[in-house]
Structure 1
Amino acid sequence: MYAVIKTGGKQYRVAAGEKIKVEQIPAEVGAEVILDQVLMVGEGESVKIGTPLVSGATVTAKVLAQGRGPKVQIFKMRRRKHYQKHQGHRQGFTELEISGIAA
């Protein structure tokens, strides 16, 4: 069984036992998180597609880690204008382990 969930403005195809990194969720490490924005649930040939969400479907996940991704370098420059700008950014993430899908 698999599901397509929406969290942090992105969509992920998940199945039970998978580990995924999503945008940061305010939860403690080891806590159970219920993701209720399920867009699609499928098992073999049968597929349920929501309009826009599948009613009553939830995905439960366990928080494995909170962290920050690699540094992204931002460099802006205008040639011959004596303009250079340096900036960096590290995006936070939450690592989840999908424990179950309830349709």
Structure 2
Amino acid sequence: MPADAAAQFDIDHVVPLKEAWRSGAAAWTTQDRRAFANDLTHSQLVAVSNRSKAEKDPANWQPPLADYRCTYSRAWISVKHAYGLTVDPAERSALDGMLATCA
């Protein structure tokens, strides 16, 4: 692996911080938000090479690799459930579509 290979990756939140804020984190304490941002337990932090997701939810962005959509949707749901975050109708519809790809 080339020495600069790590520079091609970022650590990203499955559920972006801004999305979490809109989904209920605005009511959390600073300590709760910090715990969410640094969570290594609920599939929240992942290494990514695709920087196009930004703060988008599944209604506005899905992994370009179709084979990863099942894994991604399950991780998204796991994080949202673990933290009691809301899911809007468009997000739910997109998640349902991605879950349909699960074998």
Give the TM-score category using the shorter length: under 0.3
Larger Rg: 1
User: Hey, which of these two has a bigger chunk of strand by percent?
Assistant: 1
What is the TM-score when the length of structure 1 is the normalising length?
A: 0.22
Per the normalisation by structure 2, the TM-score is 0.22
The structure with the largest helix share of the pair is 2
